């Protein structure tokens, strides 16, 4: 992946994803640790790519 392509994708914090999904930030951290949501760690904080969040939502909608 080129540096240009990397800058085009939006990254979200755990708190932003938690607010969007209306769950507690601890829930998002647990989902990351359980491998349900892909994330990268920047220092001591996780960042979730927009595409990873979309993948998670799509997988969950298929389960219903």
Question: Residue 2's pLDDT is what?
Answer: 59
Q: What is the pTM of this model?
A: 0.82
pLDDT tens per residue across all 64 residues of the chain? 555 555 688 999 999 999 999 999 999 999 999 999 999 999 999 999 999 999 999 999 887 6
CB 17 within 8 A of CB 53: yes
Give the bridge partners for 40, in sequence order: 47
Question: Residue 30's pLDDT is what?
Answer: 98
Strand order through the sheet with 45-49: 11-13, 45-49, 40-42
Asked if CATH classification 3.30.420 holds for the domain at 3-63, the reply, yes or no, is no
Question: Residue 4's pLDDT is what?
Answer: 56
């Amino acid at each position: 992946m080129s540096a240009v392509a990397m800058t085009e994708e939006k990254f979200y914090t755990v708190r932003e994803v938690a607010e969007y999904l209306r769950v507690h930030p601890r829930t998002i951290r647990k989902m990351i640790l359980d491998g349900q949501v892909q994330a990268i760690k920047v220092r001591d904080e996780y960042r979730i790519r927009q595409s990873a969040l979309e993948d998670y939502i799509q997988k969950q909608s298929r389960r219903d």
